[in-house]
């Protein structure tokens, strides 16, 4: 297959073509067709937004999961419309109200700063909706301190899970969850991711569960996820106390 270098060739054209090949099983000799729901549609994926969420927590996984053949990814909130992030600088639009959704194949709860996380764990209506939807899901997932919200809903008790490194001890001591400092952790149908960027790793793992490894690899290549950061400073287990403190301070100062 030859890709033209003409001005009409765009990133969207290329990705669209790649997605079509993946969906048809022609992306490679070893690629298998994606497993679909019995009605022929792809998975219904709902990502919950709430005031003060961290921007990459929902949008990173959405970038991955929206490439799953046939998937329908929808941003949800208590009320449709723009929802502000923890910094207040950016808003993401929720298309549907939680009350309009009574079942999902995949539920994803993003994390937030202290303000957003605490408010969500003290929101009985949100926690009840999460419990209700969880009864219908094949996979219930979280990113960052979204695991704390799942735990507050009573879904992670006695399970292993991960979360943002600074919230790990709190998750374990408060909710009876065994905290594992890993990029993502699966416990039954629950898949939790560590902080912020780890949501992309978790979403690729989830994409493989929803389809197959070859499709997930093709999605990873399609979004060119090949992280090569300029610093080896992203692992809290290897960071000095000074760097950990500075990281927490910077995050707190950036949040409203």
Best CA proximity match to 141, nearest among 100, 104, 176? 104
167: Cα within 13 Å, side-chain hemisphere? 25
Query: For residue 177, is it within any domain?
Result: yes
pLDDT of residue 16: 44
Which residue, chain included where needed, has tokens 């979360």?
Answer: 163
Dihedral sign from CA coordinates of 227, 190, 188, 204: negative
pLDDT averaged per 10 residues in sequence order, the chain, 256 residues = 35 40 35 40 95 98 98 98 96 98 98 96 98 98 98 98 98 98 98 98 98 98 97 95 94 90
Query: For residue 29, is it within any domain?
Result: no
Instruction: Provide the 10 A C-beta neighbour count for residue 118.
Output: 16
Contact 218, 230 (CB under 8 A): no
CA 170/CA 148 separation, integer angstroms: 9
Query: For residue 233, is it within any domain?
Result: no
Contact 141, 109 (CB under 8 A): yes
Query: For residue 17, is it within any domain?
Result: no
CATH of the domain at 176: 3.40.50.880
- Annotated catalytic residues are 144
b vs e for 11-50, b when ≥16 Cβ sit within 10 Å of the residue's Cβ? Answer: eeeeeeebbeebbebebeeebeebebeeeeebbbbbbbbb
Query: For residue 4, is it within any domain?
Result: no
Query: For residue 237, is it within any domain?
Result: no
Note the pTM of the prediction, 2 decimals.
0.84
pLDDT of residue 32: 35
Full residue range of the structural domain in which residue 56 is found: 44-224+243-254
The count of structural domains within the chain is 1
For 166, which DSSP code?
G
Dihedral sign from CA coordinates of 234, 236, 237, 239: positive
Query: For residue 37, is it within any domain?
Result: no
Query: For residue 101, is it within any domain?
Result: yes
pLDDT of residue 7: 38
Would you call 190 helix, strand, or coil by DSSP? Answer: strand
Contact 51, 94 (CB under 8 A): no
């Amino acid at each position: 297959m030859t890709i033209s270098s003409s001005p009409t060739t765009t990133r969207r054209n290329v990705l669209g073509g790649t997605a079509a090949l993946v969906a048809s099983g022609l992306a490679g000799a070893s690629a298998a067709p994606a497993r679909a729901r019995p009605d022929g549609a792809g998975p219904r994926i709902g990502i919950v937004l709430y005031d003060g969420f961290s921007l990459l927590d929902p949008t990173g996984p959405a970038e991955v999961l929206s490439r799953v053949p046939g998937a329908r990814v929808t941003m949800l909130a208590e009320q449709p419309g723009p929802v502000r992030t923890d910094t207040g600088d950016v808003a993401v639009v929720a298309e549907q109200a939680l009350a309009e959704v009574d079942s999902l194949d995949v539920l994803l709860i993003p994390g937030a700063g202290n303000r957003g996380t605490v408010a969500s764990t003290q929101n009985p209506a949100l926690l009840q909706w999460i419990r209700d939807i969880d009864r219908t899901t094949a996979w219930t997932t979280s990113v960052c301190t979204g695991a704390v919200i799942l735990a507050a809903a009573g879904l992670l008790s006695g399970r292993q899970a991960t979360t943002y490194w600074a919230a790990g001890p709190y998750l374990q001591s408060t909710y009876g969850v065994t905290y594992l400092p890993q990029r993502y952790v699966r416990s039954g149908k629950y898949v939790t991711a560590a902080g912020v960027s780890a949501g992309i790793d978790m979403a690729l793992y989830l994409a493989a569960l929803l389809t197959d490894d070859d499709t997930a690899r093709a999605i990873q290549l399609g979004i060119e996820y090949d992280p090569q950061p300029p610093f080896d400073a992203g692992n809290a287990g290897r960071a000095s106390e000074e760097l950990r403190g500075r990281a927490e301070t910077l995050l707190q100062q950036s949040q409203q």
